[in-house]
Structure 1
């Protein structure tokens, strides 16, 4: 199949509608069930956030307003994990809310402030945004760390953090990470070859 068995009934339904085929999502789901067709994506979980720390946190200035008027206006950040044969790798990403592109990222063997700092520095050095950037993250200790907050101040960025326990406040980049893993990472086995540069 062209979808490589990545699509569930909802994605197939939307694909058919775009092709001008008039069908309901329930019909697609019923036919897929009759034919024994289902997405081969799987769900895995590993916690990546420790919000129980004594460091100060920012207010949620983004407040689920997932839109921007220009590139470099709002950056969203998050950490996710990549399972390999030799253990976990961690991916820290920076997304531009206007373009929905990943403008900076870094991978490492440990989930540390150095990892997220490297991701932020890559994004800034590559794109050099003009004017104040609203920087949104969760309340994880990596993002609340003094060194990270100093770097935001150096770059002229305004901090914003999700409310405690509310994953929807950072939905755009969490959705990207979810799709990345379901449609790519979980379908193959990867070998851990990265040196521990960001521990």
Structure 2
């Protein structure tokens, strides 16, 4: 029997004192606030009283650390699926805001020629395709219950837009995918549909820094 619901959980705040776009770079784990956010997501999932059959995480440090309190809440060990990873980005390690913004350096402008693809990283269609494949495999592999997938903002947002039939190119300032948020899907017939969105870490967000997402 496949899964009942799929919960897409974004990681919590990352320790990023230089405020760079960290992308897939090593060494970017959760801050103390990020750990509290991850715990809020785990508490929300546990409070629903729904059985969780499996937990799957992106291989990056921040998602594995965000999966830890969910693992503890349900007594499960997360598996790793590289398809849940953050997209590649040519601006990794660079500041994107302020006087030292990489966007102000003419040497970087060649990476900005096509925001609809986008020209600075993995194509939007590639992101949505791999994410939907990972979701479908996780749904089929479950023996009933729910599955939790811990991933990143842009991959989760690509799933949202793909399922809504919206254009994948978008304004990144308008993404509805907060730190440690939970986007829930169900299978209806031959497709997935989004049935819920929650932001359990909202009370912590006022003091959070979220500048490193792709």
TM-score after normalising by structure 1: 0.33
Larger RCO of the pair (alpha carbons < 8 Å, separation 6+): 2
TM-score after normalising by structure 2: 0.31
Which of the two has higher C-alpha Rg?
1
